[in-house]
């Protein structure tokens, strides 16, 4: 069973300002993330230290931070930003 992805308004606003090429890359990554949000050979996923269910997905200079709700089968994307400002 696959997961569903919910995107925060702040992350959605970031996506609206990106080029079509970047949005296509992110959408491809999201489709693979829905299958398994914890591990993928094709995606660079790491668990964030000190956070119970938070993970980081790297796509070039972009970082996508998300939380996995295992009981609801849901992925909540709460931040998308460039590497320089994502962890602030």
The CATH number covering residue 50 comes to 3.30.2310.20
pLDDT above 70: residue 18:
yes
User: What is the pLDDT at residue 86?
Assistant: 75
> Within a domain: residue 88?
no
pTM beyond 0.85:
yes
Q: What range does the domain containing 21 cover?
A: 4-82
CA 52 to CA 82: how far, in whole Å?
Answer: 23
* CB-CB contact of 39 with 45 (8 Å): yes
pLDDT above 80: residue 48:
yes
> Within a domain: residue 87?
no
Q: Say how many domains are in the chain.
A: 1
| pLDDT range class, residue 1, cuts 50, 70, 90 | low
pLDDT above 90: residue 47:
yes
């Amino acid at each position: 069973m696959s997961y569903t992805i919910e995107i925060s308004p702040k992350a959605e606003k970031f996506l609206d300002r990106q080029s079509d090429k970047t949005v296509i890359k992110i959408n491809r990554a999201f489709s693979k993330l829905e299958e398994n949000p914890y591990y993928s050979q094709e995606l660079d996923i790491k668990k964030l230290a000190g956070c119970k269910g938070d993970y980081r997905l790297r796509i070039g200079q972009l970082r996508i931070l998300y939380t996995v709700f295992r009981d609801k089968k849901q992925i909540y994307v709460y931040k998308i930003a460039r590497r320089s400002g994502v962890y602030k």
